[in-house]
A and B are shown apart, each in its own frame.
Chain A
Amino acid sequence: MKKFNLPLTTAISAAILASAGCSSDKEWQINNDTRLCVDQSGNRVTEDKCNNPGGFGFWPYRWYYISRGGYVPYYNYPATGGSYTPSAPASSYLPAPVAAPEGAITRGGFGSIGGGDGGDAAAGE
């Protein structure tokens, strides 16, 4: 009898079965109070959608305020740890950087073709 010693495979299988998988949506930590534009689902979108609301009636984008020390998600990922109501004057919140500042770490530059999180697609062949 061949013995297979596969503790990680067994443990991670059990975790998946228990739906205990998790992932990180953080991109980089900010040093200033920062505002983001988010859509109805709370996912980050480009700022022009909040700067230039179109027409009359319901507009699905609004500002989301994150205090210093929070995390800015990359585009199309959920904003967390902040509020739709600023805790300081709204004008004191800086726009979120489009890209990470020099020296900071950016994430999300891989993984887009594969379809993101929890998709039906797989990269194996």
Chain B
Amino acid sequence: MQRSKLTPRHDWQHIVEQHGLLWHTIPGQTAVQTGDKPYWDESACYRFTAREVDTLEAATLELYRLVMVAGQHIIDNNLFPRFGIPDFIVPLIKRAWDAEPPALNHGRFDLGFDGAHPPKLFEYNCDTPTAMLETAVVQWEWMEAVFPKADQFNSLHDKLLAKWQNIGPYLKSRGIHFTHMNDHAGEDTITVSYLRDLAEQAGINSTAIFAKDIGWNATTRRFVDLDSQPIDVLFHLYPWEWLVNEEFGPRIVDSYDAMDWIEPVWKMMLSNKAILPVLWELFPGHPNLLPCYNEPRGSGYVKKPLLSREGANITIVKDGKTLAGTEGDYGHEGFVYQELFDLPDYDGNRPVLGSWIVDGDPAGMGIREDGLITGNTARFVPHIFE
């Protein structure tokens, strides 16, 4: 595993915009951050050997096995209070876990890896994973343009498309509504557009609707779209923990039998960081896990909220002292304490590997790099293997 410096392509911004990556640049926001910085950063790339890719692929497969065992353990031992999951939604989680309703069942394992030791799991993002378009499409196009003879650990596009084709016949309707936030940067909007493109190629009709525009018909007890038509299948790039805790949350129970939800509600268990201590309890000493607890232990750990996003409300403690921390609105639901992993340091650039999986099949990798904490100003750096 190496990091190589490169000269970005001329007009790279326009090139990646043509593939839909509008959020390629992070605007300078503070006096310290002078000027704009790239989010898509092709001034460098990571190079792997085929053997290292094999290691990452095997670890991804193994971690998927572990989280599925943990999911069953959570249900069997009724561990939902540890996850801050409201009681009213638990029966649906159990039903969905057993019934396995149609789903992409995709996710991204965020890993620490130095090329020499086994990859270590930081967290599993499987409810609303993003960095999808840049992983599946933009870095592949970059590789073909810049390293046409190289290869890339990347089959995400093909596997997502195949999964839409696979689940299409089992959905309650061939028309799916895709909901998301009307986000300023366009990241959620474009990520959903990408998934709509894949669904349409699989013969599924797609309609977009902002989360706030979803309606509730009190007479038919159905969620409806802007034309007041019932929603039969809803893909949501909008987290389950937000859905269930908002005003319409209880209506999910009322209308559950009439709809398919993609992703299914059981993802609330696996995407919650409370699963990390459960994994360590079940598989202590596993080479792909870091020790993790519900209370601080030792002198070096990372304190993480159960439900935070984009590196918010993280605190790093080393040798008993706070080394770094981020602010945010998370943490009311509690924290976990994961043993500190020293990310490899390439001149101050510290990579976190996002290893994708689609229904149990490893599907590629995207790398974001930042400082000690990978937050919402991290850069996406492409990779190849040779």
A100 at the A/B interface (Cβ < 8 Å)?
A: yes
Which residues does chain B contribute within 8 Å of A119, judged by CB atoms? 181-184
Of residues 179 to 204 in B, which have CB atoms within 8 Å of A's CB atoms? 179-191, 193-194, 196-197, 200-201
| Contact across chains for B188 and A122 when beta carbons are under 8 A apart | yes
| Contact across chains for B185 and A106 when beta carbons are under 8 A apart | no
Interface string of A103-125 (1 = CB under 8 A from B): 11111111111111111111111
A to B contact number (C-beta, < 8 Å):
169
A88 at the A/B interface (Cβ < 8 Å)?
A: no
Known: A21-B182, A105-B217, A123-B238. A112 touches B129 (CB 8 A): no
Interface string of B233-255 (1 = CB under 8 A from A): 00001110011011110010000
Of residues 33 to 51 in A, which have CB atoms within 8 Å of B's CB atoms? none
Interface string of A7-39 (1 = CB under 8 A from B): 111101100110001011010000000000000
Of residues 86 to 114 in A, which have CB atoms within 8 Å of B's CB atoms? 100, 102-114
Of residues 108 to 146 in B, which have CB atoms within 8 Å of A's CB atoms? 125, 127-131, 133, 137, 140-141, 144
| Contact across chains for B183 and A121 when beta carbons are under 8 A apart | yes
| Contact across chains for B212 and A107 when beta carbons are under 8 A apart | yes
Known: A4-B137, A103-B219. A123 touches B247 (CB 8 A): no
Known: A1-B144, A114-B238. A122 touches B125 (CB 8 A): no
Q: How far is the CA of A6 from the CA of B199 in the complex (A)?
A: 11
A52 at the A/B interface (Cβ < 8 Å)?
A: no
| Contact across chains for A124 and B219 when beta carbons are under 8 A apart | no
B326 at the A/B interface (Cβ < 8 Å)?
A: no
| Contact across chains for B237 and A124 when beta carbons are under 8 A apart | yes
Which residues does chain A contribute within 8 Å of B194, judged by CB atoms? 6, 8-9
Q: How far is the CA of A106 from the CA of B188 in the complex (A)?
A: 24
Which residues does chain A contribute within 8 Å of B140, judged by CB atoms? 2
Which residues does chain B contribute within 8 Å of A26, judged by CB atoms? 226
Q: How far is the CA of A24 from the CA of B225 in the complex (A)?
A: 11
Q: Say how far B327's CB is from chain A's closest CB, in angstroms.
A: 14
| Contact across chains for A113 and B20 when beta carbons are under 8 A apart | no
Which residues does chain A contribute within 8 Å of B246, judged by CB atoms? 109-113
Q: Say how far B160's CB is from chain A's closest CB, in angstroms.
A: 12
Query: What is the number of residues of chain B that contact chain A, defined by CB distance less than 8 Å?
Result: 63
Which residues does chain A contribute within 8 Å of B219, judged by CB atoms? 102-103
Interface string of A42-77 (1 = CB under 8 A from B): 000000000000000000000000000000000000
Question: Nearest residue in A to B154 (C-beta to C-beta)?
Answer: A2
Question: Nearest residue in B to A110 (C-beta to C-beta)?
Answer: B211
Question: Nearest residue in B to A102 (C-beta to C-beta)?
Answer: B218
B215 at the A/B interface (Cβ < 8 Å)?
A: yes
Of residues 207 to 239 in B, which have CB atoms within 8 Å of A's CB atoms? 210-219, 224, 226, 228, 237-239
Interface of A is mostly: loop
| Contact across chains for B197 and A6 when beta carbons are under 8 A apart | yes
Q: Say how far B165's CB is from chain A's closest CB, in angstroms.
A: 14
Which residues does chain B contribute within 8 Å of A13, judged by CB atoms? 17, 20, 22, 186, 190, 193
Give which listed residue, B130, B197, B200, contacts A125 with CB less than 8 A: B130
Q: Say how far A8's CB is from chain B's closest CB, in angstroms.
A: 5
Q: How far is the CA of A28 from the CA of B331 in the complex (A)?
A: 36
Q: How far is the CA of A108 from the CA of B219 in the complex (A)?
A: 17
| Contact across chains for B193 and A9 when beta carbons are under 8 A apart | yes
B19 at the A/B interface (Cβ < 8 Å)?
A: yes
Question: Nearest residue in B to A21 (C-beta to C-beta)?
Answer: B182
Give which listed residue, A21, A108, A123, contacts B212 with CB less than 8 A: A108
Question: Nearest residue in B to A118 (C-beta to C-beta)?
Answer: B184
Which residues does chain B contribute within 8 Å of A4, judged by CB atoms? 19, 137, 141, 157
Which residues does chain A contribute within 8 Å of B141, judged by CB atoms? 4
Which residues does chain B contribute within 8 Å of A1, judged by CB atoms? 144
Which residues does chain B contribute within 8 Å of A114, judged by CB atoms? 181, 211, 238, 242
Q: Say how far A28's CB is from chain B's closest CB, in angstroms.
A: 8
Give which listed residue, B17, B214, B310, contacts A17 with CB less than 8 A: B17
| Contact across chains for A107 and B214 when beta carbons are under 8 A apart | yes
Which residues does chain A contribute within 8 Å of B179, judged by CB atoms? 110
Q: Give the residue among A104, A116, A121 with the most B Cβ atoms within 10 A.
A: A121
A-B contact pairs, 30 of them (CB 8 A): A4-B137, A6-B20, A6-B197, A8-B200, A9-B193, A13-B20, A13-B190, A100-B218, A102-B218, A103-B218, A103-B219, A107-B216, A109-B214, A109-B246, A110-B211, A110-B212, A110-B242, A111-B210, A111-B212, A115-B181, A119-B181, A123-B128, A123-B180, A123-B238, A124-B187, A124-B191, A124-B309, A125-B128, A125-B130, A125-B239
Nearest first, the 8 closest Cβ-Cβ pairs linking A and B are A124-B130, A111-B212, A109-B248, A111-B211, A109-B247, A9-B20, A103-B219, A105-B215
